[in-house]
């Protein structure tokens, strides 16, 4: 039986972090009732083996879930924006993790990972920005998945987390532990959210989400500056605010 590791630290706050809700325009359309981003990924890459596209990335041995989720985000975004297969190797994911931790298997906070990616291209892949989403706003979570292909999120782990994953059952609320885990969400319907973790997909109920998820970010790729890329999201204002924060 494979091992599973956690490693996400509690959320950190920074007043400079931009917020998703501030860039939604009044003419934005409501999100689709349900969406499976992976269907588009599979079509674009002509590949559908989740275990190969989104591998374990060492997360059975190290608490590197925060960088594994980043690697999964890269694969999804390159597939959607460039019809290009870009999969970080396990060694690259673990090397990035240990560089950010200073060589210790100590886990990471997601804001540190996002800030690093914002400043440094990872595996040749850069981002324009990341913006914080209020996890309690399901509409915004769904809009972010629809606009940008996914949501980078973290949650406080419930006791039944690994049991339900092994049993291929959706995550449900349970007694919270002191562990945290980072995953990448790629789909939803009225009842469930779908995430990538531990070399596979996993669903969780929205009640699980409300009980456990404590931070979420939309990742804005460089292609977002192309006309019509993210209708209903004010990229020009986002770029202006990025410049203001940088100065």
Residue 131 Ramachandran class (φ > 0 left, ψ -120 to 50 alpha, else beta): beta
CA distance 57 to 59: 6
- 1, part of any domain: no
Q: For the full predicted model, state whether its pTM sits above 0.85.
A: yes
The rounded distance, in Å, linking the Cα atoms of 30 and 26 is 11
Which DSSP helix (H) or strand (E) runs through 171?
none
Tell which residue, 72, 143, 62, 73, has the closest CA to residue 97. 62
Domain of residue 165: give its range.
20-246
Is residue 153 included in any domain, yes or no? yes
Confidence of residue 2 (pLDDT cuts 50, 70, 90): low
DSSP code of residue 92: H
* pLDDT mean over 129-155: 98
Domain count, the chain: 1
Residue 153 binned pLDDT confidence (cut-offs 50, 70, 90): very high
Average pLDDT across the chain, whole number? 97
The secondary structure of residue 153, as a DSSP letter, is: E
Residue 12: inside a domain: no
CB-based burial label for 112 (10 Å; 0-12, 13-18, 19+): middle
Q: Around 206, how many Cα atoms within 13 Å sit in the side-chain half-sphere?
A: 12
Contact between residue 93 and residue 58 where contact means Cβ atoms under 8 Å apart: yes
Instruction: Please indicate, yes or no, if residue 13 is contained in any of the structural domains.
Output: no
Which residues does residue 130 pair with via DSSP β-bridges, in sequence order? Answer: 219
Instruction: Check if the beta carbon of residue 195 is closer than 8 Å to that of residue 186.
Output: yes
Residue 78: name the closest of 203, 237, 219, 205 by CA: 219
Q: What is the mean pLDDT of residues 131-157?
A: 98
**pLDDT per residue as tens digits for the range 9-68:** 999 999 999 999 999 999 999 999 999 999 999 999 999 999 999 999 999 999 999 999
Q: Any idea what the CATH number is for the domain that residue 48 is in?
A: 3.90.70.10
Residue 190 lies in a domain: yes
pLDDT of 21 reads: 98
Q: Tell me whether residue 30 is in a domain.
A: yes
Q: Identify the residue whose tokens are 């997601």.
A: 110
């Amino acid at each position: 039986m494979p091992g599973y590791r956690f490693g996400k630290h509690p959320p950190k706050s920074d007043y400079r972090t931009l917020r998703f809700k501030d860039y939604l325009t009044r003419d934005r359309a409501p999100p689709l009732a349900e969406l499976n981003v992976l269907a588009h990924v599979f079509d674009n890459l002509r590949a559908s083996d989740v275990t190969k596209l989104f591998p374990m990335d060492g997360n059975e041995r190290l608490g590197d879930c925060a960088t594994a989720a980043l690697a999964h985000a890269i694969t999804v975004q390159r597939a959607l924006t460039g019809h290009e297969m870009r999969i970080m190797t396990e060694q690259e994911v673990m090397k990035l993790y240990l560089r950010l931790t200073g060589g210790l298997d100590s886990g990471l906070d997601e804001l540190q990972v996002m800030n690093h990616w914002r400043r440094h291209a990872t595996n040749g892949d850069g981002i324009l920005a990341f913006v914080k989403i209020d996890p309690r706003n399901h509409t915004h979570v769904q809009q972010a998945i629809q606009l940008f292909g996914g949501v980078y999120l973290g949650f406080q782990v419930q006791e039944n987390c690994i049991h339900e994953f092994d049993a291929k059952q959706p995550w449900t609320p349970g007694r919270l532990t002191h562990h945290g885990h980072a995953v990448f969400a790629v789909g939803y319907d009225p009842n469930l959210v779908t995430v990538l973790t531990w070399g596979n997909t996993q669903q969780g109920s929205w009640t699980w989400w409300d009980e456990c998820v404590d931070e979420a970010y939309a990742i804005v790729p460089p292609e977002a500056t192309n006309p019509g890329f993210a209708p209903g999201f004010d990229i020009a204002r986002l770029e202006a605010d990025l410049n203001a924060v940088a100065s």
